Amino acid sequence: FPRINVLNVPFINTTQTAFLTAVESRIDHRQNTFIVTANPEIIMYARNDLSYQHILANADYITPDGIGILKGAAILGTPMTERITGYDTMLALLEWGNQQHKTVYLVGAKPEVIADVKKVVADRYPNLKVAGTHDGYFTDFSPIAQDIAAKQPDMVFLAVGFPKQEQLIAAHRHQNDGLWMGVGGSFDVLSG
Ligand code: UDP
């Protein structure tokens, strides 16, 4: 995809539909894929954190999550096509994963929230296999990463907020050649 820089962050400039098609194809081919859905908060944070900048530079796709990014790009004279949010992308991929009988691993949010998310997913996406779940209040991610490595899910959604979710993904993505995506507060929304 063409890229548009906003404060040195290279956002992809495409439609949600074209983006999903590309991501789905990568998942089908078991290509290791790291998506960051970046809002203004994230790009402001990256300005002062070199290691987070490095993490962003190694992501496969950075999408404009939030109208603030689109407004910024327009002001800079490089308008973007549309917003691609983490929540919408996650929902679309869960839907696709259900149709394609894919496997998913869900980590993040409070224990009661992830328990609800598990029920919602089982109910709404019966053909999607949930390989594992964990709440987001662990002290050591290693055992969870090992479980992900053992199960090799098609998609891993990590909802522990930024910058932690991206830091964990950057450190562990080599353990599973699937999709890795930080989804912030999305589990709270999905759980209702
Ligand atoms: N969270 C978590 N572990 C933590 C801190 C936060 O699982 O150690 C969860 C929290 O319960 C919430 C999400 O991460 O579900 C953070 O949502 P927020 O909207 O703050 O994240 P952002 O969208 O700003 O990245």
Ligand 1 site, residue 187, Cβ cutoff 6 A: yes
Of 51, 15, 25, 52, the C-alpha closest to 36 is 52
What's the 42 CA to ligand 1 centre distance in angstroms? Answer: 13
Contact yes or no for 154/97 (Cβ under 8 A) = yes
In this prediction, residue 48 carries a pLDDT of 95
Ligand 1 site, residue 110, Cβ cutoff 6 A: yes
Q: Residues 127-150: what's their mean pLDDT?
A: 98
Ligand 1 site, residue 20, Cβ cutoff 6 A: no
What's the 112 CA to ligand 1 centre distance in angstroms? Answer: 14
Supply the range of the domain harboring residue 97: 3-190
Residue 142 has pLDDT above 90, yes or no: yes
Whole-number CA gyration radius for the chain: 16
List the CATH number of the domain containing 177.
3.40.50
Rounded to whole angstroms, the Cα distance separating 144 from 147 reads 5
What's the 164 CA to ligand 1 centre distance in angstroms? Answer: 9
In this prediction, residue 192 carries a pLDDT of 82
Could you give the 3-state DSSP secondary structure of residue 105? strand
Q: Burial code of 137-169, b = ≥16 C-beta within 10 A, e = fewer?
A: eeeebeebbebbeeeebbbbbbbbebbebbbbb
Q: How large is the ipTM?
A: 0.93
- Residue among 88, 133, 188 whose CB has most ligand 1 atoms within 8 A, to mutate: 188
Structure tokens at 110: 């409070």
- AA identity, residue 152: Q
Contact yes or no for 89/181 (Cβ under 8 A) = yes
Average pLDDT, the chain: 97
Residue 113 has pLDDT above 90, yes or no: yes
Domains: count for the chain: 1
Closest atom, ligand 1, to C-alpha of 107 = 7
> pLDDT tens digits, residue range 30-89?
999 999 999 999 999 999 999 999 999 999 999 999 999 999 999 999 999 999 999 999
Phi and psi at residue 62, in whole multiples of 5°? -115, 120
